[in-house]
Amino acid sequence: MRDKTAIVGVGCCKFGENWGQSREDMMVEAAYQAYEDAGIDNPQKQIEAVFCGVVYPNFSTGEVADALRFYDRPISHVQNYCATGTDAFRFGAFGVAAGVYDTVLVLGYDKPKDRGVSGPSVAFDRVRGLPATPAGWFSLCAARYFDTFGADRSDLAKIAVKNHHNGTLAPNSMLKREITVDDVLNARMISWPFGLYDCAAQSDGAAAAIITRADKAKDFRDDFVLVKAVAIALGENPQTDPDFDFLRWKPTEYAARQAYEMAGISKPFDEIDVAQVHDCFTLTELLTYEDLGFIEKGAAREHIASGTFELDGELPVNTDGGLKTFGHPTGATGVRMIYENVLQLRGQAGPRQVKGATTALSHNIGGAPQACGITILGTP
């Protein structure tokens, strides 16, 4: 898989409560940005297949075909919890790596803001498992982790403060406001230990990437980005797993092993220059530092204090502000992270540029959580 495919174009619409924009509007905006970025002037001829990541589809694949006027070719929807965008990308990269297609479009999009609720809806289709809110699921490691490693809510708050700062530097982010640790600690509680600022916003958005054969990438642009690895792994349901220790999210550990092997990475902290990780909640980002093997289990607190993962730290994480400031249109998020990593690897990330970045990782985790997706991209 490694180095067989390349990203030659990316696009991302402005994420936010896009009351005035339809799904079609956001899809077209992201896709046409990607065409332009790749120098594609005739997508009808040059795009052979479309892989879409979307969790709330209205009309399934037909809405994509009609928006982009792509007929007489395959269009598929991929769903895999919050790793949906990353999994759509995986299908696209594998299709090209297998030699079936030369050039494909990956499109992640979602529009949760047409539902009339500001948070997730509480589902009443079962009687077990309630409260069925993501905050209630992702907070389940908090008590045990805090108790074992001595961390607390203020460590989580620093992650939100960092991501809010980074978000002010990203043109497409929704929230562009610096916050303080006190803001986070004093916000209204959602699901302990998560207050309002520990939670990702909800937003609409779309992002796109164009994947082609590595040996053809130069036809599109010189500063293409190589796909080093793309991995998906499912883990045991943490709510029923008899061996779970509530100190980690296993799907991340599983997917990381796959991805590092694929990319030939043995010392992730040294070899990865920039990472976009799934900060649906602050604790998710904290656990991910460790679950990805960037640092030892339990060491997050000291690294948060010393700024390891800040923009000017040793391994900047969520350089664009993450889900915290972009919100989380589920299908779009993984592709939005790839967009940011491509900009970082091309040296086009402006004030949030990580100097000399040559290897970039993106990560999503979703469900109970049970599914993790990871991509590793690199400069040629």
- Active site positions, annotated: 82, 328
From CA 235, how far away is CA 250, in angstroms rounded? 6
**Smallest gap, in angstroms, from Cβ of residue 243 to another protein?**
8
Apex CA 183: angle with CA 16 and CA 354, to 5°?
A: 60
DSSP secondary structure letter of residue 308: T
Tell me how many residues contact another protein (CB under 8 A).
Answer: 34
Give yes or no for residue 124 binding another protein (CB under 8 A). Answer: yes
Stretch that binds another protein, among 80-88, 119-127, 175-183, 346-354 (CB under 8 A): 119-127
From CA 235, how far away is CA 109, in angstroms rounded? 25
**Smallest gap, in angstroms, from Cβ of residue 370 to another protein?**
13
Please provide residue 88's backbone torsions phi and psi, each rounded to the nearest 5 degrees.
-60, -40
CB-based contacts of 149: which residues, under 8 Å, 6+ apart?
247, 298, 300, 301
Q: How many other β-carbons are positioned within 10 Å of the β-carbon of residue 232?
A: 21
Q: Which of 41, 125, 222, 312 is in the footprint of another protein by CB under 8 A?
A: 125
| Shorter beta-carbon distance to another protein: residue 237 or 379 | 237
What burial class does residue 51 get, using C-beta atoms within 10 Å of its C-beta: 0-12 exposed, 13-18 middle, 19+ buried? buried
CB-based contacts of 94: which residues, under 8 Å, 6+ apart?
1, 230
Stretch that binds another protein, among 52-60, 118-126, 257-265, 324-332 (CB under 8 A): 118-126
Give yes or no for residue 116 binding another protein (CB under 8 A). Answer: no
Stretch that binds another protein, among 172-180, 235-243, 260-268, 316-324 (CB under 8 A): 235-243
**Smallest gap, in angstroms, from Cβ of residue 110 to another protein?**
20
From CA 35, how far away is CA 167, in angstroms rounded? 25
**Smallest gap, in angstroms, from Cβ of residue 186 to another protein?**
14
Residues 144-163 that bind another protein (CB under 8 A): 144, 147
What string marks each residue from 23 to 62 as x (binds another protein by CB under 8 A) or -? ----------------------------------------
**Smallest gap, in angstroms, from Cβ of residue 128 to another protein?**
6
Q: Are strands 274-276 and 225-234 parallel, antiparallel or unpaired?
A: unpaired
**Smallest gap, in angstroms, from Cβ of residue 143 to another protein?**
6
**Smallest gap, in angstroms, from Cβ of residue 185 to another protein?**
15
CA distances from 22 to 19, 114, 207 (A): 8, 9, 14
| Shorter beta-carbon distance to another protein: residue 170 or 365 | 365
Closest by Cα among 154, 162, 58, 73 to 112: 58
Give yes or no for residue 128 binding another protein (CB under 8 A). Answer: yes
Q: Which of 42, 71, 127, 312 is in the footprint of another protein by CB under 8 A?
A: 127
Q: Which residue in this structure is represented by tokens 């030369």?
A: 102
CA distances from 353 to 156, 310, 347 (A): 24, 12, 7
Q: Which of 242, 267, 312, 356 is in the footprint of another protein by CB under 8 A?
A: 242
Among positive and negative, which fits the CA dihedral 260, 265, 267, 268?
negative
Q: Which of 36, 44, 59, 131 is in the footprint of another protein by CB under 8 A?
A: 131
Stretch that binds another protein, among 52-60, 141-149, 253-261, 313-321 (CB under 8 A): 141-149
By the 8 A CB rule, do 272 and 360 touch? yes
By the 8 A CB rule, do 4 and 229 touch? no
Give yes or no for residue 234 binding another protein (CB under 8 A). Answer: no
| Shorter beta-carbon distance to another protein: residue 109 or 145 | 145
What string marks each residue from 169 to 198 as x (binds another protein by CB under 8 A) or -? -------------------xxxxxx-----
User: How many residues comprise the chain?
Assistant: 380
Q: Which of 220, 244, 260, 339 is in the footprint of another protein by CB under 8 A?
A: 244
Closest by Cα among 8, 46, 14, 52 to 30: 14
**Smallest gap, in angstroms, from Cβ of residue 201 to another protein?**
15
Q: How many other β-carbons are positioned within 10 Å of the β-carbon of residue 365?
A: 29
Query: What is the contact surface with another protein in residues (CB under 8 A)?
Result: 119, 122, 124-131, 133, 135-136, 139-144, 147, 188-193, 236, 238-242, 244, 246
